[in-house]
Amino acid sequence: MLFAVSLLLLCTGISAAPGFQCKTIPGKLKQIDAGAGAVLGVNSNDDIYYWVDNDWNYLPGKLTHVTVGPAGIWGVNKDNAVFKIQDIDWVPVSGSLKQVDAGGYRFLVGVDSQDNIFCLGQSDTLSKSPTVSWTPLEGSLKYYSCGILGCWGVNTADDIFFRYNVIPTSCQGNKWQQIEGSLAMIEVGTDGSVYGVNSAGNVYKRDGISPRIPTGTSWTQLDLHATFKHVTYDKGYLWLITPTDDIMQCSFKM
């Protein structure tokens, strides 16, 4: 079944994307996240950087994964401890996760080292208390990301899933739907757009997403003439990380 789903993604209903203008950004990062007008990333030494005035600025601390969005700036370290930016500093928060995403409207989602799925509602993301109440979700995912129209995730078999009816006060939603295709990681932009990377390093965009059809209609492979391991999108720019941690920024040609 997995082979058939993967073949469907690669061979049917896929069209090449229009041309992009891409440029290499100085520096090296292993993970990057863009949202709510900001861009953050971490390098192989777990150093943290944010993009300001066309340059990377060092942010004190050590994290393995960072996220920025309407829910704020969050991250996790090598021990899976969770942190958030509060009063211009990293503050520890209760919980244990390997990946977090702040793209939902003032709610946070993530997965732990056993691929269990959790979310944090608006009351907790806005709280200054170090103790928060994570809500578990049924299922198993290695990567989970949210936007204004719902949440998307991928599991260890690279199957893709969409979560319905996720809102700030009920971040767990109520139903999974498997989406055709195969992706190794997936990211939802602040505007609800969805991008992902498959195991071969090809980048895809989900087409046809709307309030009426939040799951979209098809995948488009982006013709970027390179392979990547990570992608994120915000405000007209794709940010991509290559297998060698090089950084690329792309925008649609006008």
pLDDT at 48: 98
pLDDT at 254: 56
Q: List, for residues 239-252, the tens digit of each pLDDT value.
A: 999 999 999 999 97
Using only the alpha carbons of the chain, give its radius of gyration.
Answer: 17
The DSSP symbol for 113 reads T
Mean pLDDT across the chain: 92
pLDDT at 13: 35
| Sole residue written with tokens 């930016």 | 85
Q: Phi, psi (5° rounding) for residue 168?
A: -55, -35
Cα(194)–Cα(187) distance, rounded to whole angstroms? Answer: 6
Which amino acid, residue 22?
Answer: C
What are 60-64's contacts with CB under 8 Å, separation 24+?
60/90, 61/90, 63/90, 64/31, 64/98
Burial label, 7 (beta-carbon count in 10 A; 0-12, 13-18, 19+): exposed
pLDDT at 1: 32
| Domain segments of the chain as ranges | 2-252
Burial label, 49 (beta-carbon count in 10 A; 0-12, 13-18, 19+): buried
| 195 touches 160 (CB < 8 A) | no
Mean predicted confidence (pLDDT) in 20-46: 96
- In the predicted structure, residue 166 carries a pLDDT above the cut 90: yes
- ∠ at Cα 226 (225, 229), nearest 5°? 145
Cα(180)–Cα(150) distance, rounded to whole angstroms? Answer: 17
- In the predicted structure, residue 101 carries a pLDDT above the cut 50: yes
| Sole residue written with tokens 């993301």 | 125
Contacts of 40 (CB under 8 A, 6+ apart): 32, 33, 48, 49, 50, 51, 59, 66, 67, 68, 73
- Percent of the chain exceeding pLDDT 70 equals 92
- Percent of the chain exceeding pLDDT 90 equals 89
Confidence band for 18, pLDDT divided at 50, 70 and 90: low
pLDDT at 252: 77
Give this prediction's pTM: 0.91
Mean predicted confidence (pLDDT) in 79-94: 96
Strands (DSSP E) along 36-112, which ranges?
38-42, 47-52, 55-62, 65-69, 72-76, 81-85, 90-96, 99-101, 108-111
Termini Cα distance of the chain: 40
Confidence band for 163, pLDDT divided at 50, 70 and 90: very high
Contacts of 190 (CB under 8 A, 6+ apart): 35, 36, 69, 70, 103, 147, 148, 234, 235
In this structure, whether the domain defined by 2-252 belongs to CATH 2.60.40.2240 is answered with no
Mean predicted confidence (pLDDT) in 10-23: 56
Cα(35)–Cα(26) distance, rounded to whole angstroms? Answer: 20
The distance between the two most distant Cα atoms of the chain, rounded to a whole number of Å, is 50
Confidence band for 19, pLDDT divided at 50, 70 and 90: confident
Q: List, for residues 184-228, the tens digit of each pLDDT value.
A: 999 999 899 999 999 999 999 999 999 999 999 999 999 998 999
Q: Bigger pLDDT: 19 or 213?
A: 213
Q: List, for residues 111-160, the tens digit of each pLDDT value.
A: 999 999 999 999 999 999 999 999 999 999 999 999 999 999 999 999 99
Cα(50)–Cα(41) distance, rounded to whole angstroms? Answer: 6
Mean predicted confidence (pLDDT) in 15-38: 86
